[in-house]
Structure 1
Amino acid sequence: MTSAAKAIGTVRVGVSGWRYPRWRGDFYPRGLAQRRELEYIGTHFSTVELNGSFYSLQRPESYRRWRASVPDDFVFAVKGSRYVTHMLRLRGVEQALANFFASGVLALGSQLGPLLWQLPEREKFDADVLDAFLSTLPSTAGEALELARRHDARLDGRSWLEIEGDAPLRHALEPRSSTFADPASLRLLQQHRAGLVVADTAGTWPRFDALTADFVYIRLHGATTLYHSGYTSAELGDWASLITAWADGSGAGDGKPRDVYAYFDNDARGYAPHDALALSALVESFSPGRTG
């Protein structure tokens, strides 16, 4: 590989979750055992967004099983706990974060990708709150381990307190209030190297395109109807153009290449995996070898 090629970011395209009845007999071959669905995802995509972690603390054995189901170069994005984002609303979150990181997230090891923190629409930008939250988030696996060791009694006997190496962690914030377009919000995200999610929500919530980190995190919730509509070839072509420009730096104000993670969440009618396959093919056709 040439030095120029090394400077180009890696693009990973996948889906948000994989346990959807609508996909069975459509994307998933008829008769495929449910326990093998993630394995099937791993043969078609290079990443998936784990969203069960948003609703409840998972267990180490689940993370280990998921990791064992996919190739070694597959990457998991992990959705942060809604207890942190929707109940505590980013305030006083250290204990909740300790439990989250102790629950098995670190068992993904080198296959742990970005951590996604999705905010409710009612959560408005507050500089002090955002700064304190981003300051509490661990920036490396080692910091996450130290935080995890402070878990409470609920995690006794069901925690994972090991790491494979002190690798950097990536965090992405998905706000749903337009107040996060405030320049002060963008500066804080940049200072903490946190990504601002580019979310396509059929106009339901604001879309942010500011690049605040060394990676880009995209969530595609539906082109015209939230969670229900698919993407046309032209719409996917537009996204492929944006993604390749972000990956090679030509679409970034600073000219720096970025890794790109894109996840389809338009799963209600089964469009997500088909759109993800189509987008992957388009990105590959624009620049062969760029996808992870």
Structure 2
Amino acid sequence: MTYAPIRVGIGGWTYEPWRGSFYPPKWPIKRELEFASRQVTAIEVNGTYYSGFKPATFASWAATAPEGFVFTLKASRFCTNRKVLAEAGESVAKFAAQGIVELGDKLGPILWQFMATKKFEPDDFAAFLALLPKVQDGVALRHAVQVRHESFAVPEFVSMCRAAGVAIVFGDSTDYPAIADVTGDFVYARLEAAVEDEAAGYAPEALDRWAEAARTWAAGGQPGDLPYVTSGAPEQKPRDTFVFFINGFKPKAPAGALALIERLSA
């Protein structure tokens, strides 16, 4: 069976509770990205949600991380936290043009995350998807949307994302409904239900299931035990797969990522 790459990671790399647990004791803060990018295979950058960065910053991240590593970027809140999404064009263009292409082949998908109160308005959301650039400065862009309101769990939403080639983020969450339908040429999963009393945030048997799910996604399938809106299967082709341990009990995120990487390497 042919598999596309599976990348497993965490959200960001600057987090005090990871110092002395994930990071070695007295490890220099300025070298945390250097260390983290050699333990996990992807990082979701949350800082880009709150503010813009200079091209030199993205270039520095790319130079620090090893070959094969990928950064996914959470898009600016000014794009997604608005009443009328169709009016986000200027903010979307500004986000894409800030210098993210300096990441080169380490630029992964862009995550467009919506507030849990944002409801599905078909015409407006379709207009938003049409705003997402396919190319920036000659570099192809990939997009994933994370919606967290139950009104999105309808076939129309799945169909419009599939037509746009945009991935619907699967979020394993105790707080929000999940949509596991595969709609893009890659899969983006966020494991958001880590708990404090498990060494890796998730129980060993749960990690076994997520390893199997990741392999299924990477081979082009859809895991049979997840919640779907539609019954149709996507085109059967290998898909790059991103799995992030993020939210939930954040101090355990690196342990979860490392445990999943170990299972996938076995």
TM-score (ref. length: structure 1): 0.82
Query: Which residue pairs with 1:281 in the alignment?
Result: 262
Q: Give the letter aligned to residue 255 of structure 2.
A: H
Quote the Cα distance in structure 1 between the aligned partners of 2:14 and 2:21.
13
Instruction: Compute the displacement of 1:89 (Å).
Output: 5.2
Q: 1:239 aligns with which of 198, 202, 210?
A: 210
Instruction: Compute the displacement of 1:168 (Å).
Output: 2.7
Deviation per residue, 1:112-134 (Å, 9 max, x gap)? 10000000011111111111111
Quote the Cα distance in structure 2 between the aligned partners of 1:88 and 1:59.
28
* Identity %, equivalent residues: 36
Query: Which residue pairs with 1:70 in the alignment?
Result: 65
Q: 2:145 aligns with which of 144, 163, 173?
A: 173
Instruction: Compute the displacement of 1:37 (Å).
Output: 0.3
Contact 1:89 1:123 in 2 (8 A): no
**Superposed structure 1 runs of 4+ greater than 4 Å apart:** none
Deviation per residue, 1:210-252 (Å, 9 max, x gap)? 0011111011112458xxx911111111111111111113437
Is residue 86 of structure 1 aligned with residue 81 of structure 2?
A: yes
Q: Where do 5+ consecutive residues of structure 1 fail to align?
A: 146-165, 286-292
Q: Give the letter aligned to residue 172 of structure 1.
A: A
Contact 1:230 1:266 in 2 (8 A): no
Q: Give the letter aligned to residue 262 of structure 1.
A: V
Quote the Cα distance in structure 2 between the aligned partners of 1:80 and 1:255.
29
Quote the Cα distance in structure 2 between the aligned partners of 1:100 and 1:249.
31
Deviation per residue, 1:30-59 (Å, 9 max, x gap)? 111111000001111221111100011122
Query: Which residue pairs with 2:125 in the alignment?
Result: 130
Distance 1:273 1:223, change over 3 A: closer
Query: Which residue pairs with 1:258 in the alignment?
Result: 239
Is residue 196 of structure 1 aligned with residue 191 of structure 2?
A: no
Partner of 2:94: helix, strand, or coil?
A: helix
Query: Which residue pairs with 2:188 in the alignment?
Result: 217
Distance 1:92 1:21, change over 3 A: same
Is residue 45 of structure 1 aligned with residue 26 of structure 2?
A: no
Quote the Cα distance in structure 1 between the aligned partners of 2:128 and 2:69.
29
Quote the Cα distance in structure 2 between the aligned partners of 1:224 and 1:267.
6
Query: Which residue pairs with 2:230 in the alignment?
Result: none
Quote the Cα distance in structure 1 between the aligned partners of 2:67 and 2:220.
27
- May I ask how many residue pairs the two structures share in their alignment? 253
Q: Give the letter aligned to residue 213 of structure 2.
A: L
Instruction: Compute the displacement of 1:256 (Å).
Output: 2.5
Deviation per residue, 1:146-178 (Å, 9 max, x gap)? xxxxxxxxxxxxxxxxxxxx3432100000011
Is residue 114 of structure 1 aligned with residue 86 of structure 2?
A: no
Deviation per residue, 1:48-81 (Å, 9 max, x gap)? 1111000111222221111111113211101000
TM-score (ref. length: structure 2): 0.90
Q: Give the letter aligned to residue 170 of structure 1.
A: R
Quote the Cα distance in structure 1 between the aligned partners of 2:124 and 2:250.
37
Partner of 2:85: helix, strand, or coil?
A: coil
Quote the Cα distance in structure 2 between the aligned partners of 1:102 and 1:263.
25
Quote the Cα distance in structure 1 between the aligned partners of 2:218 and 2:63.
29
Quote the Cα distance in structure 2 between the aligned partners of 1:177 and 1:250.
25
Distance 1:76 1:269, change over 3 A: closer
